[in-house]
Amino acid sequence: MTVSRAQARDLLMVGVGLLVDPIRRLLADEDDRLRRLPYVRSQFNADLAKFQGELSTFCTVGPHQFEVEYHRARRASNQFLTIFDQLQQGVPMDQVVSAFDVAMHTITTAIRAIPADEDDAILPAGSPFSAFLQIRALCAAADARLDLFDPYLDADSFHRYLADVPSSAIVTVVTDTRVLEPISGDTRGLQRRDRIVAVSTLFAEQRPDRYRLLAAAKLHDRHLRINDRVYHLGGSVKDAARSAAYSVTEMDSTTAIHGSLDSEISGATKWYPDTQNEHRRE
């Protein structure tokens, strides 16, 4: 299976977590920290070399060498070496933990800054996992805002695509009014609405001021806006590439396109937050 640039960057971010996990566990080990430190540092140096090799490969795309971005990310990954020095020197743990957090923020920001432009993707029918990876990788790259416009939203969309969105991003989910306000007597529709609201409530608890759930009348098109880039989706994300070919097409992010999406948002009914900063129920 071909891995897209966005998916490769997503895997690189996962690699950062695996790289520094031994350091994180070392910081949590109050009883045996100094004895284990040389072993963890030795293994980290070996793993760091491998990670930087993967970083170099990712920063080479055909004739393009993203050297500025590579060296920025490489320097960021080297920051973790100072953690061992601080532990050896007896620097107070709150300062060491703070330095670790700063290093994590620096490396993740540097990796997200590496270009990962995608060609338009057309995924064949019967490849829902490939579609899932493609869309999830795009969502994980959002560090300022993520706007999902899907008239056929379901509850699964939250954990499939929004679980890894950075906490810095403001997430807006827009669906059709008929999804959140089904007609009286539509039992299946009411159950679907309740499942969405139940998951949305949990999602909102973790980012109460950086999340909106909206219902727009007669929402037809499916779009995904990641920061300032706009993608047209060939169908609902809940059915991506299951029974028909599915496209993820980057659009020219013109003022008119952004204006149209902003208009959908401003004209939609708020389901979260409502006037009481809670979820609307009816």
User: DSSP string spanning 190-217?
Assistant: HHHHHHHHHHHHHHHHHSTTSEEEEEET
pTM, whole model, 2 decimals? 0.63
CA atoms within a 13 Å half-sphere pointing along the CA-CB vector of 230: 17
**What pLDDT score does 27 carry?**
94
Sequence-ordered list of residues with C-beta below 8 angstroms from that of 263, at least 6 positions apart, any chain: none
**What pLDDT score does 126 carry?**
84
Same-domain status, 143 and 268: yes
Structural domain contains residue 243: yes
**What pLDDT score does 118 carry?**
56
Same-domain status, 210 and 233: yes
Same-domain status, 83 and 133: no
Number of domains in the chain: 2
Instruction: Please count the other Cβ atoms lying within 10 Å of the Cβ belonging to residue 80.
Output: 21
Among 88, 112, 136, the domain-final residue is: 112
Could you list the residue range(s) of the whole structural domain that residue 39 is in?
Answer: 5-112
pLDDT bracket for residue 80 (50, 70, 90): very high
We report the CATH number of the domain holding residue 195 as 3.30.870.10
Structural domain contains residue 25: yes
Please state, in angstroms and rounded to a whole number, the distance separating the CA atoms of residues 94 and 248.
45
Of 226, 103, 215, which Cα lies nearest the Cα of 166? 226
List phi, psi (to 5°) of 152. Answer: -120, 40
**What pLDDT score does 121 carry?**
62
Among 112, 136, 158, the domain-final residue is: 112
Please state, in angstroms and rounded to a whole number, the distance separating the CA atoms of residues 149 and 126.
23
The CA-based angle 113-116-2, given to 5 degrees, is 145
With a cut of 60, say whether residue 1 has pLDDT above it: no
**109-148 residue pLDDT tens:** 899 888 876 545 677 788 889 888 889 988 988 989 999 9
Same-domain status, 200 and 103: no
Span 3-30, average pLDDT: 87
Span 1-10, average pLDDT: 71
Residue located via tokens 């659009």: 251
Of 97, 102, 85, which Cα lies nearest the Cα of 30? 97
**What pLDDT score does 117 carry?**
62
The CA-based angle 21-136-13, given to 5 degrees, is 25
**What pLDDT score does 123 carry?**
75
Please state, in angstroms and rounded to a whole number, the distance separating the CA atoms of residues 243 and 235.
11
Same-domain status, 152 and 258: yes
Among 87, 112, 137, the domain-final residue is: 112
Q: Are 150 and 175 in contact (CB under 8 A)?
A: yes
Instruction: For 66-190, list the strands marked E by DSSP.
Output: 121-123, 145-149, 170-176
Same-domain status, 9 and 90: yes
Span 9-31, average pLDDT: 90
Reported as type and span, the H/E element at residue 134 is helix 128-140
